[in-house]
Amino acid sequence: MYLLRLTVALFILPFIGLLLLFTACKPAANLQSQERLENAPRIISLAPSITEIIFALDAGELLVGRSMHCKHPTEALNIASIGRIDLPDAEKILSLQPDSIILSALTPVEVEQRLRQMNLPTVRLQHSGLDGLRKDIETLAKQLGREQTGARFLIHWDQTIAGIESAVAAKSIDPPRVVLLYSMSALYSAGSGSFVGDLIGLCGGYNIANKAISPWPQLNREALLAANPEVILLAMSSEERSEMDRNAFIQQLLADTYWSQIGAVQTARIHFIPADWLTVPGPRTLDAIEAIFAAIHEN
Q: What is the pLDDT along the chain (299 residues), one digit of tens a residue?
A: 433 343 434 334 443 343 333 344 444 444 333 334 456 799 999 999 999 999 999 999 999 999 999 999 999 999 999 999 999 999 999 999 999 999 999 999 999 999 999 999 999 998 888 889 999 999 999 999 999 999 999 999 999 999 999 999 998 789 999 999 999 999 999 999 888 999 999 999 999 999 899 999 999 999 999 999 999 999 998 777 777 788 899 999 999 999 999 999 999 999 999 999 999 999 999 999 999 999 999 86
Output the pLDDT for position 38. 53
**CA nearest neighbour of 57 among 160, 202, 156:** 156
Residues ≥6 apart with Cβ < 8 Å to 183:
none
- The answer to the question of residue 142 being in a domain is yes
Chosen domain end from 150, 181, 213: 150
3-state secondary structure of 142: helix
Record the pTM. 0.83
Where residue 258 sits, what CATH number does that domain have? Answer: 3.40.50.1980
Is 33 inside a domain boundary?
Answer: no
Q: Which structural domain range is residue 81 located in?
A: 43-150
> Are 70 and 51 a contacting pair, CB within 8 Å?
yes
**284 found inside a domain:** yes
Q: How many CB atoms lie within 10 A of CB 177?
A: 17
Task: Give the per-residue pLDDT at 76.
Answer: 97
Domain-located, residue 167: no
- Please say whether the beta carbons of 128 and 192 come within 8 A: no
Kindly state whether residue 16 falls inside one of the protein's structural domains. no
**pLDDT of the residue at 9:** 42
Pair 141, 198 in one domain: no
Residue 238 within any structural domain of the chain: yes
The pLDDT assigned to 10 comes to 37
User: What is the total count of domains within the chain?
Assistant: 2
3-state secondary structure of 217: coil
Domain boundary among 111, 135, 150: 150
Helix (H, G, I), strand (E, B) or coil at 128: coil
Say which DSSP state 7 is in. Answer: H
